[in-house]
Amino acid sequence: MTSPIQSTPLFLSRLLCFFALSASALLTGLVYPQDKPPTPATTSIARHPTLFIIGDSTVKNGSGVGGGGLWGWGEPIVDLLDTTRLTVQNKARGGRSSRTYLTEGLWAQVLADLRPGDFVLMQFGHNDGGPLDTGRARASLRSIGDETKVVTMEATGKPETVHTYGWYLHQYIADTVAKGATPIILSPIPRNGWKDGKINRSTDYGPWAAQVAKADGVAFVDLNGIIADRYDPIGADKVGADFFTPTDHTHTSLAGAKFNATAVVDGLRGLKECALCGYLKYAKK
């Protein structure tokens, strides 16, 4: 028979084990109620509003890389915006018109990412002339009405219904508003062409862009007029030397792109109501 003295260590060992298991179970019940592990905490990072910029090569021109030093204003404008609170995506593409930016699916890519509270700056017009169905076939109809023309595309042999310049702008506006975002229309920048000491103003796409914006009740910046008014006192020789290249009368140098970006910002500041202005970094000089 085992003596009480001999059984004491075994008893104490079992007793300590019992208390240890009980304490563990108690703590487990406190930490993981109902025998379920804790759900990891989820952190929701607020998405900044995004400014999408769409247009042609006068807005984005490869950042001067491999493009003969030619730049669009959509790149340097980033330095004038508070990118700690606003995301900027320059989705302009060289060679595109109001028509081909839509038909090539570029606008669909922007729409996929567009969210309520975002902004869309749009500038088209430089490539909206030319043939409808041959060559680059990027022209829109010269109007802001609802006219259409069915053409057979030379490159594919397929039919396409071509709309007016105004129709395409209306489409971008309607799609943007439907997404809960804010569209802002800009007239195209001036080309480096002069007459009687003044740079040539747009007499078609600029006024048409203004009329579309007014009809749809959205903001319009007369970028063509703002830049032209600033070019005139500088003069043709200096504007050509400082803001363009000797072989190009449409696309700007980096200095010209920065000049135009400032004009865009000042144009925005001139709007009566401009939510985007809350993200501008610098005051008007």
Active site residues: 57, 248, 251
d(CA 136, CA 128): 11
Q: In what order do the strands lie in the sheet with 50-55?
A: 87-90, 50-55, 119-123, 182-186, 219-221
| Residues 262 and 184 sit within 8 Å (Cβ to Cβ) | no
Q: What angle do CA 232, 54, 145 make, to 5 degrees?
A: 85
Residue 122's contacts (CB-CB under 8 Å, 6 or more residues apart) are 53, 54, 55, 169, 172, 183, 184, 185, 186
d(CA 235, CA 118): 38
d(CA 99, CA 114): 20
The three-class DSSP label of residue 143 is coil
